[in-house]
Copies of this chain bind each other. A is one copy, B any other.
Amino acid sequence: MATVDLIEYEDASPEVRAIYDDIRKVRDTEYVNNFWKALANHPKTLQRVWSGIKAVMAPGELDALTKEMIYIAVSVANSCDYCIHTHTAAAYAKGMTGDQYEELLAVIAMAYQTNGIANGMKVPVDDVYNR
């Protein structure tokens, strides 16, 4: 059977419940999204990925919204539909305005366009960038 089971809180082991509780606390919401419920089939991976996300996505040298926009950009270019949905929602939740979203999209689209051109023309990297 190929479709992933989503593990609900009430069916989860104590180990998995503790992680769900931590996700809720860190994100200040009752809602645990399907990604974690899917990963919960593999508790060790759940633990490792959640620890990584928690460390990396916390505000630091870059603020939390900037990080979400970078996350969206990667997810679009890697064609991860699930990730685009959740991180776009997360960016709005962290205060992204409609105008900021428009600019995010425009930058993504422009980067795509020049990625295609530079790869297509096999433009050689300038010496100044290789020193």
Contact = CB atoms under 8 A, between A and B. Distances in A.
A39 B101 CA distance: 12
A93 B79 CA distance: 27
B115 A60 contact: no
A46 B88 CA distance: 20
Contacts of A125: 34, 81-82, 85-86
A107 B61 contact: no
23 contacts: A2-B85, A2-B92, A3-B122, A3-B129, A39-B117, A41-B98, A45-B106, A49-B114, A61-B103, A69-B70, A70-B73, A74-B76, A74-B107, A74-B108, A74-B116, A77-B77, A78-B79, A79-B79, A79-B80, A84-B122, A85-B122, A105-B117, A110-B113
The 10 residue pairs across chains A and B that have the minimum distance between CB atoms = A77-B77, A112-B116, A74-B111, A79-B79, A80-B115, A73-B73, A42-B102, A2-B89, A82-B118, A113-B113
